[in-house]
Structure 1
Amino acid sequence: MPSQDKPLIVLIAGPYLSGTGGAPHKIAANRARLESFALPIYQRGHLPMVGEWLALPIIHAAGGREQGDAVFQAHQYPVAARLLERCDAVLRIPGESRGADLDVARARELGLPVVQSVDELPLRQAVPAAARA
């Protein structure tokens, strides 16, 4: 793992469109599941990241209208690839996902640690508010 002097930026990788058949309520459930790992990562002293937090505004600005449309496909994975260059680790949550598998493969190419559990991330001492002032 990288140095613990700074918080790690941890990409949460798992199913987003996978297994949804394009159903908006299932996509929303997958996103909520990804986001459910954000607070536990933060509580360990790190910064969580979900790729869609960055990709969706770019996709919408580029004219994407539906999850999985051509504009989505043209931007989703390239945004994730750029994001991974700024991340320090990847949390791969369970579930079949081509995108998450691509994220893991790219993370390994970059030499980033890939963990399967939030508990595998180092526990970082939080900086007290008074010390930051």
Structure 2
Amino acid sequence: MTTHTEAFAQVREHLRPVFENSPDGVYVWLDDDNKTCNDHLAKMFGYTVAEWEAVDDFATAFIAESDRGVYVWNYQNRVVDLQFPVTFRFRALRKDGSDFAAETDMIPLTYGGHVFAYHFVRAVTAG
């Protein structure tokens, strides 16, 4: 089994073409120390990629309190349990504290014995 750091580096490189070409914000999360996103996602949340990667508490920093429970539940019950991808809407938090409506495709991904959360995120408008 590869270490967290090795697995993360390999997955990050493997997904680089998606990160560079997707019209959506994209991120992959292994744990609070091993996560990355594309520039589009970082900007959506008001960060640079380096700032986004440095955030310690993902759910508190990026998910509005009103939707944090459902976000974490989906992660624990769809990703960790390797069930299936799920698409849902939530209130996201920007660096400046403002929030916005967003939708994510949360996809369980395994590599080297590790479980990753692979996400595509887009801002949504009422309509």
- Superposition TM-score, scaled by structure 1 size: 0.29
Which of structures 1 and 2 has the bigger CA Rg?
A: 1
Higher strand share: 2
Greater relative contact order structure (CA < 8 Å, 6+ sep): 1
